[in-house]
Copies of this chain bind each other. A is one copy, B any other.
Amino acid sequence: MDDMLKDLNRRFDHAALQPQVTEHDIVILCREALSHDLYGVAINPVWVRRARQALTGSAVKIVSVAGFPLGAGRTDLKVAEAVKSVGDGAHEVDMVANIGWLVAEDFGKVVEEIAAVRKNLPYNVLLKVIIEAGKLTESQQIAAARAVIDGGAQFVKTSTGFFGAATTDQVTRLYKAVGGQIEVKASGGIRTVRQCREFIEAGATRLGSSASVSIMEELRSRRGDR
Residues in A lying within 8 Å of B, measured CB to CB: 17-25, 44-47, 68-77, 80-81, 84, 88, 96, 98-101, 103-104, 132, 135, 162-163
Q: Nearest residue in B to A88 (C-beta to C-beta)?
A: B74
Selected from B19, B72, B84, the residue in CB contact (under 8 A) with A96 is B19
Distance A71 CA – B71 CA, assembled complex (angstroms): 14
Given A80-B80, A132-B19, A163-B19, decide whether A73 and B100 contact each other with a Cβ distance below 8 A.
no
Q: Is the CB of B100 within 8 A of A19?
A: yes
Q: Is the CB of A72 within 8 A of B46?
A: yes
Q: Which residues of B contact A162 (CB under 8 A)?
A: 162
Selected from B45, B69, B100, the residue in CB contact (under 8 A) with A23 is B100
The 8 closest A-B pairs by CB, nearest first: A44-B72, A19-B99, A20-B135, A22-B100, A22-B104, A19-B70, A46-B72, A45-B73
Distance A45 CA – B77 CA, assembled complex (angstroms): 10
Distance A47 CA – B72 CA, assembled complex (angstroms): 8
Given A44-B72, A73-B45, decide whether A23 and B81 contact each other with a Cβ distance below 8 A.
no
Given A44-B72, A46-B98, A70-B69, decide whether A20 and B77 contact each other with a Cβ distance below 8 A.
no
Selected from B23, B74, B100, the residue in CB contact (under 8 A) with A84 is B74
Q: Is the CB of A74 within 8 A of B100?
A: no
Q: Nearest Cβ distance between residue A147 and chain B, in whole angstroms? A: 16
Q: Is the CB of A74 within 8 A of B81?
A: yes
Q: Nearest residue in B to A25 (C-beta to C-beta)?
A: B100
Q: Nearest Cβ distance between residue A109 and chain B, in whole angstroms? A: 10
Q: Nearest residue in B to A70 (C-beta to C-beta)?
A: B19
Distance A23 CA – B75 CA, assembled complex (angstroms): 16
Distance A98 CA – B19 CA, assembled complex (angstroms): 8
Q: Which residues of B contact A84 (CB under 8 A)?
A: 74, 76-77
Distance A101 CA – B18 CA, assembled complex (angstroms): 13
Given A77-B45, A77-B84, decide whether A22 and B103 contact each other with a Cβ distance below 8 A.
yes
Distance A19 CA – B133 CA, assembled complex (angstroms): 12
List 17 contacting pairs A-B, 8 Å CB cutoff, sorted by A: A17-B72, A19-B71, A19-B72, A19-B96, A23-B104, A45-B73, A45-B74, A45-B77, A46-B72, A46-B73, A46-B100, A74-B84, A76-B84, A77-B80, A77-B81, A80-B80, A162-B162
